[in-house]
Each structure stands twice: as C-alpha cells, then as structure tokens.
C-alpha cells in the first residue's frame, strides 16, 4: 500500500428512525373521521345523585299566619278565625286586620271585636250521658249519632243553666269519642275553643273511666297499664290505673286512641265487659240520667 493513500471502509447502513415514522394509510380529514369512528364512544360521567333536602324548622319567633296564632292562643278555632278576619272582627295591636293569610309576630297583641265575643257566647256546649248503641260522630252501620238525643224532650230537668232548647242545635260536634258499646259523659259543642281544648294535639285535659273487667291481673300487668304499653307501634302516655273494687278498674287518661282502654286490657289478659266515662277535666257526669243532656254552665270549665 502506498503511503498517503487512504483506505476507504464500507459504510454501515443507516438505521431508520422509527420514532419519526408516519403511519401508512390514508391521510387527511377523511382519515381522521374514520379513525374517530373506530374509537369507542366516550360517555359523560354520571352526575351524582341529589342530596335529600332537610326540612327547614319553623322559626318559633318568626311571623306566622294570624288564624293559626289565634288558634294557639285559644281565641277560637281555625275556621272561626278565618271567619272573624273576613268580617273585620280582629285587631292586631289595635289595627283591624281583614285580609286572610295575614301574618303576625308572637309578641303582637290580638283582640276580638265584641261582635265575635257575642257570637261565641251564643254557641252552645252540652253534656250528654250517652247510652250504649249510639256512635259519637257520624252515623255508621245503621247506628245513629249521639247528637240525635239532644232534643227539648231529653233535656234534663235538673239543668240549672236557665237555657232552653228551641228546635235543634246546628253544627253540634262531639269533642272526643266514646265507643258505641261504652256509656257516660260525651261533650258536644259548637265552640271551637272547647273542641281544641279537649281534643287538640296538645290537650292536657284528663278523662276518667270506670271499667268492669274479667280475667286475672297481677302486679306486673297493673304496672304495664300505668305505663309501658304500646299500640300500633306508638308508646302510650303514662296513665293512672288502680282498682276501684274487686271487678272494676279506674282509668285516668290524657289521650284518646281508638278503643284504647279495651285494647290496653287485652294486652294484659283482661276482657272489658263495661266501660263508663265519669269525668272530663273538672266536669263530672254526676247524676245525669242515661240518654239525657244538659247545657254546660257558665261557671263550669274543663
């Protein structure tokens, strides 16, 4: 080899750079559409379920409907309140309010016009000694309501109210129930205030019953009758239950569930064979004969 002559070596084949290779196939807008069609469709993520809204408690110090406030104060029933408002017989802080749905604050003073007071004074409340075979309210299954007994002929001669009945009393409603096979004191009234006092959800007026029973009752059963029984999944309020004599119990209740005393007795193994209501609040049945009635006296209250 002669000096100065360079030896040429064979060059290695260049390795293709695959990182920059383009895909083989059609290109352009049409190709992009085809590629998008082959890809699975994307779905939007499901929205989270809405959170249940919590009931907003009413503000006891906030405004409330005038008619409701009148009922709470014992001025009248809700229906009577709407009637008095529409007649312009209600004043709030000395101002006549005649628009239904008006609202008031708890501290505001509410007064009834003398015309409303006079109308209330004319509304009757009667005390009836209901016999067996009459229902307390609407007629049912061929049985008559107890209100049909409130006639001039059935007014008790010992009624000292000085009032006489002429014809029939309209809109006379029972303030509480007394079963068809129970007897004793039943209140019927035209006065919404008395109805609310006796059968309202917050009523604290107690009722006394004498109950003849059959069966055996031990000390545990007697304690359960006083407190600890449940009806229809609801725990009963405390009662006062004691022996009146060897076959008769005395019940004092502050609630009036349907056939409550009979069902209470069944739960402790007793059968009721006679039930008589003898007192509601401070008003007693006394010697009022069965099937007769008298007016509630002006000096009486429940």
Could you read off the pLDDT of 256-295 as tens digits, one per residue?
888 999 999 999 999 999 999 999 999 999 999 999 999 9
Q: Are the CB atoms for 112 and 71 separated by under 8 Å?
A: no
Region 166-182 average pLDDT: 84
Q: How many CA atoms are closer than 13 Å to the CA of 67, on its beta-carbon side? A: 17
Among 74, 104, 122, the domain-final residue is: 122
Catalytic residues: 179
pLDDT of residue 235: 95
Same-domain pairing of 157 and 274: no
157-190 b/e (C-beta count within 10 Å ≥ 16 → b): eebeeeeebeeebeebebbbbbbeebbbbbbbbb
**Residue 284 burial class via C-beta count within 10 angstroms: exposed 0-12, middle 13-18, buried 19 and up:** middle
Let me know if residue 96 belongs to a domain. yes
Q: Are the CB atoms for 79 and 192 separated by under 8 Å?
A: yes
Q: Please tell me the least confidently modeled range out of 10-14, 105-109, 217-221.
A: 10-14
Res 166 pLDDT > 50: yes
> CATH number, domain at 236?
3.30.70.1560
Strand partners, 71: none
* Average confidence score pLDDT of the chain: 83
Residue 100 is part of which domain span? 64-122
pLDDT of residue 123: 82
Region 159-177 average pLDDT: 83
DSSP string of 161-211, one letter each residue:
S-----S--TT-EESS---TT-EEEEEEES-HHHHHHHHSTT----EEEEE
CA separation for the pair 225, 220 (Å, rounded): 9
> CATH number, domain at 93?
3.10.290.10
The pair of structure tokens assigned to 118 is 């006079």
**154 phi/psi in degrees, rounded to 5:** -95, 0
Residue owning tokens 């890809």 = 39
Q: Please tell me the least confidently modeled range out of 27-31, 145-149, 242-246.
A: 27-31
189 SS3 class: strand
Same-domain pairing of 302 and 194: yes
* pLDDT above 90 as % of the chain: 54
pLDDT of residue 43: 53
pLDDT tier at 7, thresholds 50, 70, 90? very low
Same-domain pairing of 232 and 139: no
Same-domain pairing of 137 and 175: yes
Q: Please tell me the least confidently modeled range out of 39-48, 163-172, 186-195, 240-249.
A: 39-48
Region 165-181 average pLDDT: 83
For β-strands 95-96 and 248-253, DSSP reports them as unpaired
Let me know if residue 229 belongs to a domain. yes
Q: Higher confidence at residue 12 or residue 154? A: 154
Res 54 pLDDT > 60: no
Among 107, 122, 137, the domain-final residue is: 122
């Amino acid at each position: 080899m002669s000096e100065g002559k360079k030896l040429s070596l064979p060059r290695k084949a260049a390795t293709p750079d695959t990182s920059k290779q383009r895909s083989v196939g059609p290109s352009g807008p049409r190709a992009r559409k085809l590629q998008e069609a082959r890809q699975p469709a994307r779905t939007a993520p499901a929205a989270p379920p809405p959170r249940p809204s919590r009931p907003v408690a009413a503000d006891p110090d906030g405004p409330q409907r005038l008619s409701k406030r009148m009922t709470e104060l014992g001025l009248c029933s809700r229906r009577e309140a709407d009637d008095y408002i529409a007649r312009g017989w209600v004043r709030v802080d000395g101002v006549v309010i005649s628009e239904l749905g008006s609202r008031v604050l708890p501290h505001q003073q509410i007064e009834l016009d003398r015309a409303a007071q006079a109308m209330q004074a004319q509304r009757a409340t009667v005390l009836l000694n209901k016999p067996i075979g009459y229902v307390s309210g609407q007629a049912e299954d061929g049985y008559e309501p107890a209100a049909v007994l409130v006639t001039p002929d059935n007014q008790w001669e010992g009624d000292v109210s000085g009032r006489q009945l002429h014809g029939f009393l309209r809109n006379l409603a029972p303030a509480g129930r007394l079963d068809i096979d129970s007897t004793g004191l039943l209140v019927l009234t035209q006065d919404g205030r008395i109805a609310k006092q006796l059968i309202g959800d917050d009523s604290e007026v107690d009722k006394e019953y004498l109950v003849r029973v059959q069966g055996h009752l031990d000390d545990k059963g007697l304690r359960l009758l006083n407190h600890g029984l449940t009806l229809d999944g609801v725990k009963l309020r405390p009662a006062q239950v004691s022996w009146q004599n060897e076959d008769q119990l005395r019940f004092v209740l502050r609630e009036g569930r349907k056939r409550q005393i009979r069902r209470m007795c069944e739960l402790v193994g007793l059968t009721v064979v006679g039930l008589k209501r003898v007192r509601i609040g401070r008003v007693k049945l006394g010697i009022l004969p069965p099937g007769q009635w008298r007016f509630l006296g002006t000096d009486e209250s429940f």
